[in-house]
Amino acid sequence: MIVAGFGFSTRGTTESLRNALQRACAAARIPAPQALTTVEDKAAMLAPLAQELGLPLHPISQEMLASQATPTQSSRVAAERGTGSVAEATALAVAGPGSRLLTPRIHAQDRLASCALAEGTPR
């Protein structure tokens, strides 16, 4: 299963999220993921895109987020969220043990959202 993980500003829009997803899918050369994910406290902002695409949304807890190691490291995100990249950490968490990133986080053109794609077998 391919999971799209998202990190984004509260100023981000559905268009920001859609653009980040499109850019990540283009980089990975895939048409679409099978699921979307982000942290629980931001899931409501991602729900409209999940509904538009007809994909399940799997919010993850802050505790699960902080347990994921990510190749991308943002000092600001690490201080706020306990991981280097919310997009990468959420994608890896939902994709399951032994999952791998297909793309590191890729920013939307407006830089208000990022998306990372992970492939694995969900828990």
The predicted pLDDT at position 76 comes to 77
User: Alpha-carbon distance 27 to 47, whole Å?
Assistant: 23
Please give the share of the chain, as a percent, with pLDDT higher than 70. 94
Q: Based on the structure, what is the number of domains in the chain?
A: 1
CATH code (residue 36): 3.30.420.180
Domain that holds residue 42: 2-119
Q: Identify the sign of the CA torsion 38, 3, 73, 16.
A: negative
Average pLDDT for the chain: 90
pLDDT of 80 strictly over 80: no
pLDDT of 63 reads: 82
**Nearest residue to 114 via CA among 47, 18, 27, 50:** 18
Question: What is the tens place of the pLDDT at every residue in 35-71?
Answer: 999 999 999 999 999 999 999 999 998 888 777 778 7
Q: Could you give the CA distance from residue 13 to residue 104 in angstroms, rounded to a whole number?
A: 21
What band does 122 get if pLDDT is binned at 50, 70 and 90?
low
| pLDDT of the residue at 72 | 78
The encoded tokens of residue 57 equal 């949304």
Report the C-alpha gap between 32 and 23 in whole angstroms: 11
Other CB atoms closer than 10 Å to residue 49's CB: what's the count? 22
What is the predicted pLDDT for the residue at 70? Answer: 80
Give the pLDDT of residue 79: 66
